[in-house]
Amino acid sequence: TIDGSDNNDQDVGVRRQGFTVAIPQNIESINEFQITTLLADAEAGRNIGAQVNVVSRSGETALHGQIYDFFTDSSLNARDFFDIAPFRTFRNSDKSPFTRNQFGGSLGFPIIKNQLNFFAAFEQQDINTAQTTHFSVPTLAERQKATTLVSSNLLGRDLLELFPLPNNVGGPYRDNTF
C-alpha cells in the first residue's frame, strides 16, 4: 500500500498469482515504510504474509530539492563469464556492452507558508545491453541417451522435452547450439 491505499496491479496479480506494483514509488518520495510479517492488524487485512505500507513525503517548509544519478557501464566491470569471445560482434571489445543509468530528483517547497506545500519526484532508468542469442541444448544423441536413463521417470522425460533441438551447429556451443 502507499499511504494506506492499495498499490497492486490486480490484472497481473490474478494471472500470475502474485502482485506487482501499479505505481512505482521513487526512493526520494518515500518518508518511511512499514513491513508487517505476521499477525497483521485488521486494517492491513486481505492477504496472509507480509504487508508493506509506504508513507509518502509531503512538501517542505522551505525550498528543498535534490538530483541523483546511478551509473554502471561494462568498462567498470569484469567480463561476463558467459561471453564467448570468438562469436562476439561487439566493437573491438572482449566484453558485452552494458550501460545502466538510473537518474531522478525531487523538489519540495511551500505554496502558502505552514498551510499548503508542494512536493514532486521523478525517476528514470535507461538500460543498454546486448541480448544473448545462443543457448546450449542437448543434441539428439544426448537426448536419446538421457531418455533411456529417465524412461521410468515421467517428470524427467517431460523436462527433457522442454529443450528445443539444436539448430546452429557452427555456433559457440558447436553441435549443441540453439
C-alpha cell at 168: 546452429
Least confident residue range of 14-18, 23-27, 43-47: 14-18
pLDDT band at residue 47 using 50, 70 and 90 as cut-offs: low
pLDDT tens digit string along 148-162? 776 667 777 778 888
Helical axes 140-149 vs 154-161, angle rounded to 10°: 170
114: alpha, beta or left? (left if phi > 0; alpha if psi -120 to 50) = left
Q: Could you give the 3-state DSSP secondary structure of residue 35?
A: strand
How confident is the model at residue 87, as a pLDDT?
47
How confident is the model at residue 60, as a pLDDT?
75
142 vs 172, which has greater pLDDT? 142
pLDDT tens digit string along 52-77? 888 888 777 888 889 999 998 878 87
Using a cut of 0.75, tell me whether the model's pTM lies above it: no
